[in-house]
Amino acid sequence: MSRIYNFNAGPAMLPEDVLKQAQAELLDWHGIGMSVMEIGHRTPEFIAVAEQAEADLRDLMAIPKNYRVLFLAGGATAQFAMVPMNFFGSKSTADYIDTGIWSKKAIAEAKRYGTVNLAGEVRKGDLISIPTQSELKLDPNAAYLHYTPNETIEGVEFQWVPDAGNVPLVADMSSMILSRPIDVSAYGLIYAGAQKNMGQAGVTVVIVRDDLIKDPIPYTPMLYSYKVEAENKSFYNTPPTYSWYMAGLVFAWMKKKGGVKYFSELNQRKAKKLYGFIDRHPEFYRNNIHPDCRSQMNVVFNLNSDELTQRFLDGAAKVGLVNLKGHRLSGGVRASIYNAMPEEGVDQLVAFMQEFERTNG
């Protein structure tokens, strides 16, 4: 049996090298006669796995020393609540930029703990676009500014970092972390679920500046306190050990390949090929996102009818290009091309698009 190209938005395709290593180590990890998923999280063996994963991530992202890295459970969705619970402090409002469905979910959760000031909103029209820095209505007294650098569902991505002045910037990087270089010091807190660009579902990475780690609002569960998790090195309770191990394998694989720089260049090439083809065939394929904010990770496009879209998806699946269906809320086609998607996968998709237009145009 041969592997196919999986364009799923998440959980997403993993590097074949990583899967093979996990397979080779599954029954007998490092000669201990057990799987790493069967050992205690407080054993020296697992602590070494956990620390190596953190060290590799720090290296890949050049995370400054005054930032803590936490490996938590609950997905990015848990962070929608943890951020307001831990960051509202004595303030009553937080700024949020709404660029799509994931922003909206974060906003809905934050509203349960305080007032949300809508600092900016996506513009819909012939072309979808995001607000510019000068259009943001920022509150200098906000507890923090939250935004979603890459909207996984709509395929909209910021190519710049909002400037919130002294207000801490919080970013949900679930679908773009490690895809391009990031200046971590511009952020107060970064969070990302692992299942798009870092491995399998189950673990969420939180990178937080240490002076922002304070007591959360009353009645916050202990497990949802950054302070408790930081004091316990993410071991307040049993962490998702196997997902943490898998993320570690992905980080090591990334370093071996050439780090974020290598993947950033690869991702630029992949996105350029796909958008370039779409733009050269506007009668048949359309992407309605302004070129200034097109996602490098999730390329969405439409065909002329639902019937044609279905035929496209069926035909693609027959040649081993799967999970291209757009999100249930937006329809159309979505090709998620995270770090693990090889350039050949995109080449094959473009070749299929060309052939499909020739036979259906």
Ligand X SMILES: *Cc1c(COP(=O)(O)O)cnc(C)c1O
Contacting positions for ligand X (CB under 6 A): 10, 75-77, 102, 148, 152, 172, 174-175, 193, 196
User: Contact at 8 Å (CB) between 172 and 195?
Assistant: no
Residue of 98, 172, 244, 325 marked active site: 172
Residue of 196, 244, 253, 325 marked active site: 196
State the Cα–Cα distance between residues 290 and 293, nearest whole angstrom: 6
Considering only CA atoms, which of 98, 77, 78, 40 is closest in space to residue 235?
A: 40
Residue 350 has which token pair?
A: 């473009």
Nearer to ligand X, 148 or 220 (CB): 148
Please indicate whether residue 102 is annotated as part of the active site: yes
Residue of 29, 95, 102, 270 marked active site: 102
User: Contact at 8 Å (CB) between 236 and 70?
Assistant: no
Nearer to ligand X, 35 or 77 (CB): 77
State the Cα–Cα distance between residues 96 and 83, nearest whole angstrom: 12
- For residue 53, the minimal CB distance to ligand X (Å) is 18
Burial class for 33, CB neighbours closer than 10 Å (0-12, 13-18, 19+)? exposed
- For residue 123, the minimal CB distance to ligand X (Å) is 19
- For residue 233, the minimal CB distance to ligand X (Å) is 22
Residue with tokens 């909002």: 162
3-state SS class at 260? helix
Nearer to ligand X, 53 or 82 (CB): 82
Nearer to ligand X, 98 or 285 (CB): 98
Nearer to ligand X, 152 or 309 (CB): 152
User: Contact at 8 Å (CB) between 53 and 36?
Assistant: no
- For residue 316, the minimal CB distance to ligand X (Å) is 22
- For residue 105, the minimal CB distance to ligand X (Å) is 7
Considering only CA atoms, which of 298, 299, 259, 260 is closest in space to residue 278?
A: 299
Please indicate whether residue 196 is annotated as part of the active site: yes
Please indicate whether residue 244 is annotated as part of the active site: no
Residue 76 has which token pair?
A: 């990015």
* Position of minimal CB gap to ligand X: 75
**Which residues belong to the active site?**
102, 172, 196
